[in-house]
Amino acid sequence: MAVIELKPHLLSYLETTPGFEDDNGDYHEGSSSWSKPLECHAVPAGAANEITFADGKTSHYSYVVRRLEPNCHEFQIGEDVKLIIDGMERKFQVKGFHRYQLQSKLWL
């Protein structure tokens, strides 16, 4: 008997640390690395679908990512993310994000 896995995919976002100037006036470059993967359920949109936001702007998306924890990272439009499905990594930019009461939803 097979068990259905509700969160079979992983999602990481790019965390960046800005550069800074120390007390001596020397500049130190910032760094970037991928976050710890978040469990999720990603569904391909089939054909590129379009989403309309509250401000009237529209955007085409390829994936809808569901079942993110409601208190997950606050994703910003244009933010770089990495979606891992069946061991294959694909990079996207966030097209939209919405936080619901029991889960969060992301459009890529």
**pLDDT tens by residue, 46-69:** 766 888 877 788 888 889 999 888
What is the per-residue pLDDT for 45? Answer: 84
Helix (H) or strand (E) holding 58: strand 58-68
| Prediction pTM value | 0.79
The tokens for 42 are: 């990603």
pLDDT digits (tens, 9 = 90+) for 10-54: 999 999 988 888 899 888 888 999 999 999 999 988 766 888 877
Burial 86-105 (b: 16+ CB within 10 A, else e): eeeeeebebbbbeeeeeebb
